[in-house]
Structure 1
C-alpha cells in the first residue's frame, strides 16, 4: 500500500502487516484503539497509554531516538507528529526511514481526524468508524455538564496554560467551562499570574508532571505563595489535581478523561 504524507510531501510504501514505531503518545493510543497494536514494535519513553505500552521497547524520547535500537527493530513505518517533532521527522526521513508525521490537533475534532488518517494508512478504517461512535457517545454524555470560569495549568518545568488555539480550550468549552485564556490566540501560554488573579477563576485544573506526587494541599500552598489567596477557586477549595497525561494527552483516551474530570468536579 502507498501513502502520501502532505507534511513531508513524500509518498511511502507500506507492506502488509507492517512493523510500526510510534514516537508520540497520542499516536500510540490511536494505534491501540484501531487494532494495530500487534504491529507496534517500539515506542517513545513518553508513551504510557495504553498500559500495555509500557511493555513495548523504548527507542527514544520525544525529540531524539536511539538509532542503534531503531535499526535493530527495522520498522516499516515511523509515526511522528508535527510541531516540536518536525525536525526529527525530517531527520528520520533523510536517513531513509519511512516517516509519517500527523498534524497536532487544535480541537477535539482533530483527534478524530488523526485517528482516521492513521487508520487509513493502515487499512483499519472500519475499526476507526466503530471506535468513533463510542467516542461521540462519550462526548455527548459530558457536553455542557459543568459551568464556570476555569484556569488550567500544567507543569512542564514551569507553569503552562492553554489558549484559544489549543484542543484543551475546545475540550474545556465542550464540558461547559470557560477557559480564562480563551481570548488569547495561542496554543500554549506562559500565564501571567496577575491576569489569573484578575480573571478570578472559579475552578482550577492542575495537571501534574510525570513522577510528581503533589496533592491538592500542596498545589493550594503553591497558589497561595503566588498571592492567589483571593481567587474563588482557592478560597473555595475548587482545585482539582489531574494525573499526568490527562488533558495533555491528545489521543482518543482524552474522551474518557473528560468524563473523569466531569465526575471529579461534580463530586
Structure 2
C-alpha cells in the first residue's frame, strides 16, 4: 500500500514529491523546503534539516519519512527509525539522483510519473554543448573558502558539463584559500548563491587573486538540487555552458 502521510526532511525531494503529484500526501517538511512555494507553505514545518523536531514528527504519525545521508543527522534518522519507516537516500552522483527518483516513485505508487521525469532529465543530459573542457573551481562558502570534492553531487554535475573540477582530487568539501586557488589557475570560477550567498562584490575579491580566470555568479540550485529540479537545472546548465565557452 502506498504511503499517504509523508514527512520530507530533504528540500529538493519535497519538491519532487509535489511534482510527482504527491502533494496531498506530504504532511510535514523542514523550513528549508521552500519549493513549490505556492503549495509547500501550507505544509506544517517540523524544524530544520539538521535539527528536526522529533516530537512534531511523531504527532504527524507519518507512514513514510524521507531523509538523506548528507542533509540529515545520523542520530535523528536512527531515532525516527525506531518508530517509523524511513527512506534514507544517498546522492553523490547524477545516477544516484535518478535512482532516488525511481525509488521514490516506486515506493509511493507513481512509477509512471517518475519514469517520465527521468526520461526528460536524460534528454537534457544528452544536449550538453560540444565545447572543450574547462578547468573550474566551484565555491560554496567564504571564510573559510570551501569548494567541492570528487565524491559530491555537485562534482558529478560539473563533470557531466565538462567543467573539470580543480579540487576533484579531494573529497567532500575541502577548505582552501584564494592564494591556493590562484596556484591552480582555473579557467572558470563559479560562485554559488547557496549555501553562502555570493554577490557581485565577491567577484572583484576573487579576481584580484585570479586575474586570468572568468568569475561567474551562479544559481546554486542548478548544481546542488536533485529530484525534479534537475529537469529545469540541466536545461539552464546547457545554456550556461554554451555562454561561458
User: TM-score range with shorter-chain normalisation?
Assistant: 0.7 to 0.9
Q: What are the within-5 Å matches in structure 2 for residues 103-142 of structure 1? A: 103=90, 105-142=91-128
Unaligned runs of 5+ residues in structure 2 are none
The answer for the alignment partner of 2:160 in structure 1 is 174
1:88 to 67, 76, 99: 76
The answer for the alignment partner of 2:14 in structure 1 is 28
The answer for the alignment partner of 2:33 in structure 1 is 47
Q: TM-score, normalised by structure 1?
A: 0.80
Q: Deviations over 1:160-188 (max 9, x none)?
A: 2111112211211211211111222x122
SS in 2 for 1:64: coil
Residue 209, structure 1, aligned to residue 180, structure 2: no
SS in 2 for 1:80: strand
Count of aligned pairs between the two proteins: 241
Decide whether the 8 Å contact of 1:240 with 1:265 is kept in 2.
no
State the alpha-carbon separation in 2 of the partners of residues 154 and 215 from structure 1.
12
Could you tell me how far 1:246 is from its partner in structure 2?
A: 3.2
Q: What are the within-5 Å matches in structure 2 for residues 1-267 of structure 1? A: 1=1, 16=2, 18-51=4-37, 52-83=39-70, 84-94=72-82, 96-103=83-90, 105-142=91-128, 144-145=130-131, 147-155=133-141, 158-184=144-170, 186-209=171-194, 212=197, 214-216=198-200, 218-224=201-207, 228-230=209-211, 232-233=212-213, 238-264=214-240, 266-267=242-243
Does the C-alpha gap of structure 1 residues 210 and 152 become closer, same or farther in structure 2, counting only changes over 3 Å?
A: closer
Decide whether the 8 Å contact of 2:127 with 2:238 is kept in 1.
no
Decide whether the 8 Å contact of 1:207 with 1:246 is kept in 2.
no
Could you tell me how far 1:26 is from its partner in structure 2?
A: 2.7
Moved over 4 A (4+): 143-146
Decide whether the 8 Å contact of 1:146 with 1:175 is kept in 2.
no
Unaligned runs of 5+ residues in structure 1 are 2-15
Pairwise CA RMSD: 2.4
Decide whether the 8 Å contact of 1:145 with 1:262 is kept in 2.
no
State the alpha-carbon separation in 2 of the partners of residues 158 and 24 from structure 1.
25
Q: TM-score, normalised by structure 2?
A: 0.86
